[in-house]
Amino acid sequence: MMKPETGIEALVANAKDEQLKAIGYKILHKERISFDEGVVLFEKGSLSYLGALANWVREQKHGDKTYFNRNFHIEPTNLCVFSCKFCAYSKLYAHREEGWELSIPQMLDIVKSYDGKPVTEVHIVGGVHPKMDMDFFVELLKAIKAHRPDLHIKAFTPVELDYMFRKAKLTTEEGMKLAHEAGLDSLPGGGAEIFHPEIRTKFVKTKWMQMVG
Protein backbone atom coordinates (compact mmCIF):
# COMPACT_ATOMS: atom_id res chain seq x y z
CA MET A 1 0.00 0.00 0.00
CA MET A 2 1.32 3.44 -0.92
CA LYS A 3 1.99 5.76 1.96
CA PRO A 4 -0.57 8.61 1.94
CA GLU A 5 0.87 12.00 1.06
CA THR A 6 1.01 14.42 3.95
CA GLY A 7 2.29 17.91 4.58
CA ILE A 8 4.11 19.58 1.72
CA GLU A 9 3.63 16.55 -0.58
CA ALA A 10 -0.13 16.74 -0.11
CA LEU A 11 -0.10 20.48 -0.71
CA VAL A 12 1.67 20.06 -4.03
CA ALA A 13 -0.40 17.03 -5.07
CA ASN A 14 -3.62 18.93 -4.42
CA ALA A 15 -2.60 22.08 -6.29
CA LYS A 16 -5.37 22.83 -8.78
CA ASP A 17 -3.13 24.61 -11.26
CA GLU A 18 -1.07 22.12 -13.24
CA GLN A 19 1.84 24.53 -13.69
CA LEU A 20 2.04 25.16 -9.97
CA LYS A 21 1.86 21.44 -9.31
CA ALA A 22 4.65 20.68 -11.80
CA ILE A 23 6.90 23.38 -10.34
CA GLY A 24 6.11 22.17 -6.83
CA TYR A 25 7.20 18.64 -7.69
CA LYS A 26 10.34 20.01 -9.31
CA ILE A 27 11.20 21.78 -6.06
CA LEU A 28 10.48 18.65 -4.02
CA HIS A 29 12.88 16.76 -6.29
CA LYS A 30 15.48 19.44 -5.46
CA GLU A 31 15.72 20.66 -9.03
CA ARG A 32 16.48 24.30 -9.78
CA ILE A 33 13.53 26.17 -11.25
CA SER A 34 13.87 28.44 -14.28
CA PHE A 35 13.24 32.15 -14.52
CA ASP A 36 9.93 31.54 -16.32
CA GLU A 37 8.84 29.12 -13.61
CA GLY A 38 9.65 31.78 -11.04
CA VAL A 39 7.37 34.15 -12.91
CA VAL A 40 4.59 31.53 -12.84
CA LEU A 41 4.98 31.21 -9.08
CA PHE A 42 4.82 34.99 -8.75
CA GLU A 43 1.74 35.34 -10.94
CA LYS A 44 -0.24 32.28 -9.85
CA GLY A 45 1.05 31.04 -6.51
CA SER A 46 -0.73 31.93 -3.30
CA LEU A 47 1.30 33.26 -0.40
CA SER A 48 0.64 30.09 1.59
CA TYR A 49 1.77 27.85 -1.30
CA LEU A 50 4.96 29.81 -1.92
CA GLY A 51 5.66 30.09 1.80
CA ALA A 52 5.28 26.36 2.34
CA LEU A 53 7.63 25.55 -0.55
CA ALA A 54 10.19 28.10 0.62
CA ASN A 55 10.06 26.79 4.18
CA TRP A 56 10.51 23.21 2.95
CA VAL A 57 13.64 24.24 1.04
CA ARG A 58 14.93 26.09 4.12
CA GLU A 59 14.42 23.06 6.33
CA GLN A 60 16.17 20.82 3.80
CA LYS A 61 19.20 23.10 3.86
CA HIS A 62 19.34 24.14 7.50
CA GLY A 63 17.03 21.89 9.51
CA ASP A 64 14.71 23.46 12.05
CA LYS A 65 16.88 26.53 12.53
CA THR A 66 16.38 30.22 11.92
CA TYR A 67 19.31 32.64 11.77
CA PHE A 68 19.23 36.19 13.08
CA ASN A 69 21.64 39.04 12.67
CA ARG A 70 21.75 41.09 15.86
CA ASN A 71 22.40 44.67 14.94
CA PHE A 72 21.81 48.20 16.08
CA HIS A 73 21.37 51.40 14.12
CA ILE A 74 23.12 54.72 14.08
CA GLU A 75 21.59 57.62 12.16
CA PRO A 76 24.27 60.31 11.92
CA THR A 77 21.83 62.98 10.75
CA ASN A 78 18.43 63.49 9.22
CA LEU A 79 19.59 66.68 7.51
CA CYS A 80 19.89 66.27 3.76
CA VAL A 81 20.66 68.29 0.67
CA PHE A 82 18.18 66.21 -1.31
CA SER A 83 14.39 65.99 -1.17
CA CYS A 84 13.69 62.49 -2.49
CA LYS A 85 10.03 61.78 -3.19
CA PHE A 86 9.88 58.58 -1.15
CA CYS A 87 11.61 59.92 1.98
CA ALA A 88 9.53 61.05 4.95
CA TYR A 89 12.58 60.98 7.19
CA SER A 90 14.83 63.86 6.20
CA LYS A 91 14.87 67.59 6.81
CA LEU A 92 16.36 69.91 4.24
CA TYR A 93 19.73 71.26 5.24
CA ALA A 94 18.36 74.76 4.72
CA HIS A 95 16.07 74.05 7.71
CA ARG A 96 18.70 72.37 9.86
CA GLU A 97 17.25 73.75 13.07
CA GLU A 98 14.50 71.13 12.63
CA GLY A 99 16.90 68.18 12.45
CA TRP A 100 19.82 66.58 14.23
CA GLU A 101 23.46 65.84 13.53
CA LEU A 102 25.68 63.61 15.63
CA SER A 103 29.39 64.06 16.20
CA ILE A 104 31.86 61.18 15.94
CA PRO A 105 32.21 60.97 19.77
CA GLN A 106 28.42 60.83 20.09
CA MET A 107 28.20 57.99 17.57
CA LEU A 108 31.07 56.16 19.23
CA ASP A 109 29.20 56.45 22.53
CA ILE A 110 26.28 54.62 20.88
CA VAL A 111 28.66 51.86 19.81
CA LYS A 112 30.11 51.66 23.32
CA SER A 113 26.62 51.38 24.80
CA TYR A 114 26.49 47.89 23.24
CA ASP A 115 29.74 46.72 24.83
CA GLY A 116 29.26 43.30 26.37
CA LYS A 117 26.09 42.68 24.36
CA PRO A 118 25.90 39.96 21.69
CA VAL A 119 25.46 42.26 18.70
CA THR A 120 27.19 41.42 15.44
CA GLU A 121 26.57 44.46 13.25
CA VAL A 122 26.09 48.20 13.26
CA HIS A 123 23.90 49.67 10.54
CA ILE A 124 24.67 53.30 9.64
CA VAL A 125 22.54 55.37 7.27
CA GLY A 126 21.33 58.93 7.31
CA GLY A 127 20.81 62.07 5.32
CA VAL A 128 23.31 63.54 2.89
CA HIS A 129 24.95 66.21 5.02
CA PRO A 130 27.35 68.60 3.23
CA LYS A 131 29.74 68.74 6.19
CA MET A 132 29.79 65.01 6.84
CA ASP A 133 32.25 64.27 4.09
CA MET A 134 34.58 61.40 3.21
CA ASP A 135 37.16 62.36 5.82
CA PHE A 136 34.46 62.53 8.48
CA PHE A 137 33.14 59.04 7.79
CA VAL A 138 36.57 57.49 7.30
CA GLU A 139 37.43 58.73 10.79
CA LEU A 140 34.15 57.28 12.13
CA LEU A 141 34.74 53.88 10.51
CA LYS A 142 38.27 53.69 11.87
CA ALA A 143 37.12 54.68 15.36
CA ILE A 144 34.44 51.97 15.41
CA LYS A 145 36.84 49.28 14.21
CA ALA A 146 39.51 50.39 16.70
CA HIS A 147 37.01 50.04 19.53
CA ARG A 148 35.35 46.82 18.39
CA PRO A 149 37.19 45.10 15.52
CA ASP A 150 34.77 42.17 15.25
CA LEU A 151 31.73 44.40 14.67
CA HIS A 152 30.49 44.21 11.08
CA ILE A 153 29.87 47.70 9.69
CA LYS A 154 27.05 47.93 7.18
CA ALA A 155 26.76 51.54 6.17
CA PHE A 156 25.78 54.22 3.67
CA THR A 157 23.29 54.13 0.85
CA PRO A 158 24.62 54.60 -2.70
CA VAL A 159 23.22 58.13 -2.60
CA GLU A 160 25.35 58.98 0.43
CA LEU A 161 28.45 57.37 -1.06
CA ASP A 162 28.06 59.03 -4.44
CA TYR A 163 27.87 62.45 -2.77
CA MET A 164 30.92 61.71 -0.60
CA PHE A 165 32.99 60.47 -3.52
CA ARG A 166 32.13 63.34 -5.83
CA LYS A 167 32.87 65.91 -3.15
CA ALA A 168 36.23 64.24 -2.43
CA LYS A 169 36.93 64.05 -6.19
CA LEU A 170 37.24 60.26 -6.02
CA THR A 171 36.07 57.69 -8.52
CA THR A 172 33.61 55.08 -7.32
CA GLU A 173 36.40 52.50 -7.22
CA GLU A 174 38.74 54.80 -5.29
CA GLY A 175 36.04 55.78 -2.82
CA MET A 176 34.92 52.22 -2.17
CA LYS A 177 38.51 51.11 -1.65
CA LEU A 178 39.13 53.91 0.83
CA ALA A 179 35.91 53.17 2.73
CA HIS A 180 36.65 49.45 2.84
CA GLU A 181 40.18 50.01 4.11
CA ALA A 182 38.76 52.25 6.85
CA GLY A 183 36.41 49.51 8.03
CA LEU A 184 33.31 49.42 5.81
CA ASP A 185 32.24 45.78 5.44
CA SER A 186 29.05 46.01 3.38
CA LEU A 187 26.32 48.29 2.07
CA PRO A 188 22.66 48.08 3.07
CA GLY A 189 20.35 46.54 0.50
CA GLY A 190 17.61 48.44 -1.26
CA GLY A 191 14.15 47.33 -2.28
CA ALA A 192 14.00 45.19 -5.42
CA GLU A 193 11.99 47.90 -7.15
CA ILE A 194 15.22 49.88 -7.55
CA PHE A 195 16.32 47.45 -10.27
CA HIS A 196 13.49 48.50 -12.59
CA PRO A 197 14.79 51.36 -14.78
CA GLU A 198 11.45 53.18 -14.92
CA ILE A 199 11.10 53.20 -11.13
CA ARG A 200 14.76 53.94 -10.50
CA THR A 201 14.80 57.07 -12.65
CA LYS A 202 11.91 58.52 -10.70
CA PHE A 203 13.77 58.35 -7.41
CA VAL A 204 17.49 58.05 -7.95
CA LYS A 205 19.78 60.50 -9.73
CA THR A 206 23.06 58.88 -8.70
CA LYS A 207 25.03 55.90 -9.98
CA TRP A 208 23.08 53.45 -7.82
CA MET A 209 23.69 50.35 -9.91
CA GLN A 210 27.41 51.07 -10.22
CA MET A 211 27.71 51.22 -6.43
CA VAL A 212 26.02 47.90 -5.77
CA GLY A 213 27.00 46.03 -8.93
Tell which residue, 190, 165, 188, has the closest CA to residue 176. 165
Q: With b meaning 16 or more CB within 10 Å and e meaning fewer, what string describes 4-26?
A: eeeebeebbeebeeeebeebbee
Residue type, 112: K
Q: Given pLDDT bands bounded at 50, 70 and 90, which one contains residue 2?
A: very low
Clarify whether residues 136 and 202 are in a common domain.
yes
Looking at the domain assignment, is residue 128 inside a domain? yes
Clarify whether residues 40 and 99 are in a common domain.
no
Looking at the domain assignment, is residue 1 inside a domain? no
Specify the number of domains making up the chain: 2
Segment 111-142, tens digit of pLDDT: 999 999 999 999 999 888 888 999 999 999 99
Q: For the residues 190-203, what does the mean pLDDT come to?
A: 66
Whether 159 has a pLDDT exceeding 80, the answer reads yes
Segment 9-45, tens digit of pLDDT: 999 999 999 999 999 999 999 999 999 999 999 999 9
**Which residues span the domain enclosing 36?**
7-62
> What's the burial of 179, exposed, middle or buried (CB within 10 Å: 0-12/13-18/19+)?
buried
Model pLDDT, residue 99 = 82
